[in-house]
Structure 1
Amino acid sequence: MTEVDRLFFALWPDEAMREQLGAAATHLRQKLRPEGRWIGPHRYHLTLHFLGDYEKLPEALAQRALEAAATVRSPRFDLPIEQAGSYRNRSIPWWLGPSQPSAPLKQLWRALRDALQAHSVPYDTKLRLSPHVTVLRDATQVLAPTPVPLVNWPVDSFALIHSHLGVDSQYRILGTWPLSGDSAPPPPDAQLGLWDA
């Protein structure tokens, strides 16, 4: 198996939130009984920005990413996980997520993007914000938007994750940064451009 080192920024749930997300996934599993490969709750995360796959962890790049993240200022917020769905790519992943990305989540995504640009950290510019937590891979059918029992995720930090894919696959947290209330959300007219900016 090819060994790959992956870097990405994500929202990283605590153990209590993993249990709640796992319960929502179990509800989905019992209700629809899909075929596929279920993801363990210990692997749950919500990707913000993807920095790439590498043959070996690029230490200098990781350091610049850490420095960039330390400059991000964004408020804490609650993220309602209320819907399941899927993508139509090859592995047909099923996910849990919000029905609409909230303004504070968009603000965090944009602030982190700007910090990466300011510190010359390469990231996948083709990926738009599509907030989701993958719970099933290799499904045999596409899932239309489906309500699930509400899980309210209090988001108070974000993290840089090193994912080693191979014989001994594992996640390693390289850094976490708290969100705070010292950065007010932009006024309503400014929020309109956050999604497409």
Structure 2
Amino acid sequence: MPRLFTGLELPSEIGTELAMLRGGISGARWIDAENYHITLRFIGDIDERMASEIVEVLSEIRRPSFPVTLEGLSWFGADKPRAIVAKIKPTAPLVELQADQERRLRRIGLQPEPRKYTPHVTLARLRSASTLAVADYLSVRGYFRIPQFEATRFVLFSARESTGGGPYLVEAAYGLQG
């Protein structure tokens, strides 16, 4: 398996709603709606033996399904914007699922994730967009109303080595109990 990460898929109707927010920033590379997801844990490039261990350890997770709420748009990168994102409300069930994965993956030998977990959906990657252009974009599109959805499973995705944005393949899916 190539580059791996875990995440939550978005229902297609929510992906369609988010895709309607595209455009209006020069230098943005917009992600295709079918590749929208909420990353739980980036794993990286690993060998087949470790991939098998990951598939197995993730299958041991038992968590309830839970609602996921999108909270609006933002950007990553402080004074040099590098991505437009849809923020996800960091509810206890979501954060606990991510932390459970982190603990289990560290136990089998993966290095700890150095970044603080910030749930989001990446909508666009930015190359040379100015802070002003991003602020203008967010002032026009930053607030939207998208209904909650129920996370009923998490998945192990693979991605080809690239600059990000897909295509992503589901390698394994793990149900969340109702």
TM-score category (smaller protein): 0.7 to 0.9
Q: How far does residue 112 in structure 1 lie from its aligned partner after superposition?
A: 1.3
1:34 equivalenced with 2:28 (yes/no): no
Q: How far does residue 122 in structure 1 lie from its aligned partner after superposition?
A: 0.8
Kindly tell me the number of residue pairs found equivalent between the two proteins.
Answer: 165
CA distance in 2, matches of 1:10, 1:158: 6
Per-residue deviation, residues 15-39 of structure 1 (Å, max 9, x unmatched): xx2332332341x336xx2221111
Normalised TM-score (structure 2): 0.81
AA partner of residue 47 (structure 1): T
CA distance in 1, matches of 2:12, 2:82: 22
From 90, 95, 114, the equivalent of 2:85 is 95
Report the counterpart of residue 94 of structure 2 in structure 1: 105
Q: Percent identity?
A: 25
Per-residue deviation, residues 23-81 of structure 1 (Å, max 9, x unmatched): 2341x336xx22211111111111111112x3xx5111111111110111111001011
1:75 equivalenced with 2:98 (yes/no): no
Report the counterpart of residue 24 of structure 1 in structure 2: 18
Classify the secondary structure of the residue corresponding to 2:148: strand
Mapping for residues 77-156 of structure 1, pairs under 5 Å:
77-88=66-77, 92-98=82-88, 100-118=89-107, 120-138=108-126, 140-142=129-131, 143=134, 146-156=142-152
CA distance in 1, matches of 2:158, 2:40: 14
Q: Is the 8 A contact 2:17 2:146 kept in 1?
A: no
Normalised TM-score (structure 1): 0.74
Mapping for residues 30-69 of structure 1, pairs under 5 Å:
33-35=24-26, 36-52=28-44, 54=45, 58-69=47-58
- Unmatched 5+ residue regions in structure 1? 182-197
Q: Is the 8 A contact 1:73 1:111 kept in 2?
A: no
Q: How far does residue 141 in structure 1 lie from its aligned partner after superposition?
A: 3.4
